[in-house]
Amino acid sequence: MLEAVVAVLDRCLGWTRRRSVTIAASTCFVAGLATVFSFND
């Protein structure tokens, strides 16, 4: 799934693969925190 996002970032923003992966994975982590805290009643 990360590859689909990274491929779009590589192509559309002209970023290096390393940069695309780092930013996509970091943003994904932040977005996932919503899931983590949603289980914390």
Partner 1 sequence: MATIGVGSIWKFPYEVGANGSGAFVLVYVLGIVLVVPPHMLAEFAIGHRGKSDAATSMETVAGEEAVTKRWGVFGFLGAATSFLILSFYAVVGGWTLTYAVDTLVRGLPPDPVAVSDHFDSMLGSPSPTALFQALFLCAVALVVIRGVQRGIESSMKILMSLMTLLLVALAVYSMKNGDASRTMRFLFVPDFDELSGRGVLDALGLGFFLIGVGLGILITYAAYSPTKANLKTVAVTSVVADTVISLIAGLAVFPVVFANDLDPPSGPGLVFESLPIAFATMPSGRRSPCWRQ
**Cα 16 to the center of its chain, rounded Å:** 14
Enter the tokens of residue 31: 């977005």
Tell me if 10 contacts partner 1 by CB under 8 A: yes
Tell me if 18 contacts partner 1 by CB under 8 A: yes
Tell me if 13 contacts partner 1 by CB under 8 A: no
Tell me if 32 contacts partner 1 by CB under 8 A: yes
Helical spans, DSSP H, in 1-41: 2-13, 17-38
* Site for partner 1, rule CB under 8 A: 1-8, 10-12, 17-18, 21-22, 24-25, 27-29, 31-37, 39-41
